[in-house]
Structure 1
């Protein structure tokens, strides 16, 4: 069997991301598990694991990776860095026709690149295989509590990015002293579960959505909200999750009652652009709208949450939103009338060691056997472009690529 050369590429999207698809030990493990595979690590001064750590594990470190056929990244590859005729794996953020990555997909097709999107790697039941969702949820919830504490000068905790790892973050939990506020968390997947790890770890009590809406508490509480809790079928009738996910356009928003009792909102649910938004800017101007801090883990720009006007960054995690003018106020915590928004779009990069290790484990166990050997369909399902054209499942992106939908 001929040798397969795989490169761990340097993350060069700005702002910098410190994650990697395989840790040094995992890269060495790959070469043992797949003897016909050689892993090359592209030199990086940003990555959370140093070049020396890869060298120590017997992994070659190089600047030039053009002799590798498969290139593993994390975030989108800057267009000037794309190499013709290669196989790339990274999160492309194109499958929802994101306008800011239209040119990226256009160039991938033009350069005859085979693009395999991590987000589309699923098993035969349709469940995602690799994701950073758990750590997005952990860091997102922690940052939400950081934001709320800063806004009301309640406590001071280190940022997750300033902690060595998750265990170090947990040493900050005891400093978080909240009044009897209500925290709404949307979602039922990895992101929401990660967020609940933090809320439960701090000792915040979970209550039912009904209790959350109807009762008062003398301690901080949170409610996990599912799509059935905040969407309503148009014209009435029974609600089925299957129908909602297949035809979200047939539903209307039912989140407004929660906005009247929520102090901190943590958004952790996937949002389909066909689905109802959670609330509108006009709703934020109405009497009784109580939310003053939002941790938008989903970070859908101009999506289900009107205050998420742009991503925030790890260096500047929070901005204020003025619903009166529908504008971002760069200086956070500047007015009681503003909503403070945390919308970092690469949250797991604040805990890059833990996030990379978890990601690499799943990559080795589930994905690489299909990538380097016989594919059971997983790789094909995740291949967006190949041989200069979109693949069958992604032909719906044709207008997006051509620019017709602009």
Structure 2
């Protein structure tokens, strides 16, 4: 059954909001029609889905078959795992399984894979010749994450008694494109620049950890708002200025938000006060360092993005 040239695409059943697909119609067209005989793919069977971002008809147009039955497939692809009872014996599966760290909630999945003598290719563990992951979170994860967080921030502040422009944002999956989502965030930014935010929730500080793809994607969305980036060392000063302003009643509104990018040396410090922070040493000997993030960064953060 493995390597029989028939590939299956799962309809995602783990999360009700999952609209992604492991292969787009254009990918399928390349596998089916480009360099015939070289890809090893003879047929692609796609389970029907009314929520997938690519309509079933688009797959049919490029030569895929639409069927719930994937029993003919040697390789079955998904984003997330199928329901346990749907795992077929002696097949190869590829999806994000979240099992290699022995995540307790997913051990039944791994047990089922083993019991059915199936092969599992976890996207998270596929690496190139240099040992680096070939499939990983990209900037879209950060973009979507911050859009969803801004929406949640609006809900939280409303619960605390503050109306904010963030209330007009939808969840990231509600927008038909990145451009549409960005347009909505820009509108929120324009409202902040025009009408401001209540001083009771300001300064509004967004902390971004690291400079990876997720952090950069989140910062891309953040920069659509009226903003200023500040160094971590200036956070106490920023809050002191805000308190002075409030006590002097010089301003009742704030017309921008603040961003702060922190690195490892803002999160920990050497236990030995005579030594300077060394990233290589920290990764090799974390026991030689003490946490400081909770004292120097977290008290000033309105939003913390982990990447």
Q: Give the alignment's TM-score, normalised by structure 2.
A: 0.79
Whichever structure has more helix as a proportion of its residues is 2
Give me the whole-angstrom Cα distance separating, in 1, the residues matched to 2:77 and 2:292.
41
Give me the whole-angstrom Cα distance separating, in 2, the residues matched to 1:207 and 1:126.
35
Q: Does 1:262 align with 2:301?
A: yes
Give me the whole-angstrom Cα distance separating, in 2, the residues matched to 1:143 and 1:10.
24
Cα deviation for residue 209 of structure 1 reads: 1.9
Match of 1:8 in 2: 9
Would the aligned equivalents of 2:4 and 2:73 in 1 still touch at CA under 8 Å?
A: no
Quick one: which of 227, 230, 234 aligns to 1:204? 227
Match of 1:23 in 2: 24
Would the aligned equivalents of 1:42 and 1:61 in 2 still touch at CA under 8 Å?
A: yes
* Counterpart mapping for 1:182-261 below 5 A: 182-215=205-238, 216=241, 219-236=256-273, 237-248=275-286, 250-256=288-294, 257-261=296-300
Gaps of 5+ in 2: 198-202, 243-253
Q: Give the alignment's TM-score, normalised by structure 1.
A: 0.61
Give me the whole-angstrom Cα distance separating, in 1, the residues matched to 2:225 and 2:18.
28
Give me the whole-angstrom Cα distance separating, in 2, the residues matched to 1:247 and 1:39.
49
Match of 2:247 in 1: none
Give me the whole-angstrom Cα distance separating, in 2, the residues matched to 1:58 and 1:168.
31
**What SS is found at the alignment partner of 2:300?**
coil
CA-atom RMSD in angstroms: 2.3
Cα deviation for residue 26 of structure 1 reads: 1.8
Would the aligned equivalents of 1:51 and 1:61 in 2 still touch at CA under 8 Å?
A: yes
Match of 1:61 in 2: 66
Match of 2:146 in 1: 141
Over residues 322-371 of structure 1, what are the superposed CA-to-partner deviations in whole Å (9 max), with x where a residue is unaligned?
Answer: xxxxxxxxxxxxxxxxxxxxxxxxxxxxxxxxxxxxxxxxxxxxxxxxxx
Over residues 218-258 of structure 1, what are the superposed CA-to-partner deviations in whole Å (9 max), with x where a residue is unaligned?
Answer: 63211111222212344453433334344545543211221
Match of 2:99 in 1: 94
Cα deviation for residue 34 of structure 1 reads: 5.2
Would the aligned equivalents of 1:88 and 1:115 in 2 still touch at CA under 8 Å?
A: yes
Taking a change above 3 Å as real, the CA distance of residues 67 and 184 of structure 1, as seen in their structure-2 partners, is: same
Would the aligned equivalents of 2:7 and 2:45 in 1 still touch at CA under 8 Å?
A: yes
Name which one, 1 or 2, has greater alpha-carbon Rg.
2
